[in-house]
Amino acid sequence: MSLQDFAAIGESVGGLAVLFTLVYLAYQFRQTAKLERAAGQRDLLSQVRSWIELTAVNPDLFPVLQRGLHDLDSLSPAEKEQCSAWAWSLLFLAEQALYMERDGVIHQVSYKGFLDAALAVVATPGGRILWSGIRNVIGDDISNYIDDELERRAPDAPDWTTLLPHWREGLSADPTMNGRTHR
């Protein structure tokens, strides 16, 4: 064999090595993308779990939120702040889910669940009042999305208290029940 033959073999081996390296890098890139998606989903779910646990960890918060979603004006200023902070937290989670969906790093079922939960809270009588203030400060993308969805929303679509009926229990009067008492 001549030196040129060895050079040709070397070029072929080098070309195959580059090809295998590119295939391996593509595989690694896909694996990394899957791990990033899982980490993002896990982080968001952890934040949602903490948000949900707020009423369990702070039992005095539940009746405040319960009343606030029905009649925000019945709350004291401090209670309105608690209700507002709770709603802000949910809307920021929904905004994060919206951006994660755009980046392709959240499962569609989770994405839809986060946005549906935000819509269900905003659709309550107290939630609509809170939304009128929050929508001017939160990101335009989520504000426009929620405004559009609220416009398309059927009048009988479920709100937060319909999805979780225990949020109605014990209220003296529910505006959606035309003054009838719950038992």
Q: How much is the CA Rg of the chain, to the nearest whole Å? A: 26
CA-closest candidate to residue 126, choices 61, 63, 165, 71: 71
77-87: string of b/e by CB count within 10 Å (b at 16+)?
Answer: eebbebbbebb
Q: What is the pLDDT of residues 75-97, one digit of tens each?
A: 999 999 999 999 999 999 999 99
pLDDT at 181 over 80: no
pLDDT in tens, 25-59: 888 888 887 788 778 778 888 888 898 898 889 99
pLDDT band at residue 172, thresholds of 50, 70 and 90? low
* Per-residue pLDDT at 161 exceeds 90: no
pLDDT digits (tens, 9 = 90+) for 132-143: 999 999 999 999
Average pLDDT, the chain: 85
Supply the pTM of this predicted model.
Answer: 0.74
- What's the confidence (pLDDT) of residue 135? 92
Taking the C-alpha atoms of residue 60 and residue 65, their distance in angstroms, rounded to an integer, is: 9
